[in-house]
Amino acid sequence: MKRILWVILIIAAMTACSKKVPLDKDQFTSLLIDMHTTDGMLSVARGDIRTEKDNYLYYNDLFAKYGITREDFDSCVTYYSLQSALFNKIYDVVIDTLSRRQTKIMREWKELTVNDTVNLFPGYTMIVADTIRPDSTQAKVRKKDSIVYETRVVKADTVYFDKRNQFVLVKLDSIVPGMYKFTSTIKLEKSDRGKRNFIQTYFLSADNDTLKVPDQYVGVDTLRPYKKDWEFYVADSSYTKLFMKIPKSDRDTRVKVKKLNDREGCVYKTEIFKTYVAPNREKQLKKEYEQRRQMELERKSVKKK
């Protein structure tokens, strides 16, 4: 009886599909490719997609594109799935097309982001102060300190603060318009109370105009390292250099201390990247940049008055 029932169902299905199918093989293949592409888009945007009903709206647009209804689509699925050999060939084409598209996109993306993996960080510039006490031939003459500053670039991954070197500088030339990303980690081995520590960053033009990046504040405790990062878009080609002081310190008048301690600790894992920005996003960033520059000009104008 079960065999007879299966035969009846298959005959009925084949009879139902003997009519003209809404989409021929090529059209159905194209629709499946579009549907899988849509599925990928929905998967990426799943945080914005709330319900299954929203998902169906995307498919309905596809059905309208091919001039069919959901019932027509179901009919096509039934028709082609009953012909397993043909259905397998259709999906071979679908998979091959999607794979080739993905390969093309990844190749283009790799070309656009080829510089993203290049760390532009040139090394830490250390300005070390050394004190020389020359002997005096006059017994009652007070000795004077002679300060000598030495500048050197250290390309090691980690640099340490000490009594003579209380901060490090980062200097980067050949800045061009684009999105820059920075990350660095600071570890203070001794409590730095009485100081307000922050990473100061700005871009500099040939005529010494500055484009300031918001300061990244660093705590004063010694329990954990502080990982700091920022992302900043430069639209103006006049800014050709980047300067960063890690960390810059101001006296914190709210904290009363008898004596400020020399800073002890280190800076490590510093990286600077110029990253790819999609055209639409870059257009929005340029607009935001112009608005920010206008506000800065207005602020400077008010300050002069």
Task: Spell out the domains of the chain, with CATH numbers in brackets.
Answer: 13-101 (no CATH), 124-136+143-294 (2.60.120)
Q: What is the pTM of this model?
A: 0.60
Short-list 156, 168, 94, CA closest to 125 = 168
What pLDDT band is residue 43 in, cutting at 50, 70 and 90? Answer: low
What pLDDT band is residue 27 in, cutting at 50, 70 and 90? Answer: very high
What pLDDT band is residue 84 in, cutting at 50, 70 and 90? Answer: confident
Is the pLDDT score of 287 beyond 80? yes
Helices (H), the chain: 2-16, 25-44, 52-65, 70-81, 84-112, 279-304
pLDDT of residue 1: 39
What pLDDT band is residue 103 in, cutting at 50, 70 and 90? Answer: confident
pLDDT of residue 60: 84
Report d(CA 83, CA 88) in Å as an integer. Answer: 9
Report d(CA 87, CA 82) in Å as an integer. Answer: 8
What pLDDT band is residue 107 in, cutting at 50, 70 and 90? Answer: confident
Q: Is 93 helix (H, G, I), strand (E, B) or coil?
A: helix
pLDDT of residue 6: 42
Report d(CA 127, CA 276) in Å as an integer. Answer: 33
| Range of weakest confidence among 85-94, 108-117, 241-250 | 108-117
What pLDDT band is residue 102 in, cutting at 50, 70 and 90? Answer: confident
Residue-averaged pLDDT of the chain: 79
What pLDDT band is residue 230 in, cutting at 50, 70 and 90? Answer: very high
pLDDT of residue 146: 60
pLDDT of residue 262: 78
Report d(CA 186, CA 159) in Å as an integer. Answer: 10
Report d(CA 160, CA 122) in Å as an integer. Answer: 17
pLDDT of residue 304: 67
pLDDT digit string, tens, across residues 210-225: 888 999 998 877 778 8
Report d(CA 266, CA 188) in Å as an integer. Answer: 7
What pLDDT band is residue 45 in, cutting at 50, 70 and 90? Answer: low
What pLDDT band is residue 26 in, cutting at 50, 70 and 90? Answer: very high
What is the DSSP-derived secondary structure letter of residue 302? H
One-letter amino acid at 171 equals K
Is the pLDDT score of 272 beyond 90? yes
Helix axes 84-112, 70-81, angle to 10 degrees: 110
| Average pLDDT value for residue range 292-301 | 78
Say if residues 269 and 119 touch (Cβ distance below 8 Å).
no
What pLDDT band is residue 205 in, cutting at 50, 70 and 90? Answer: very high
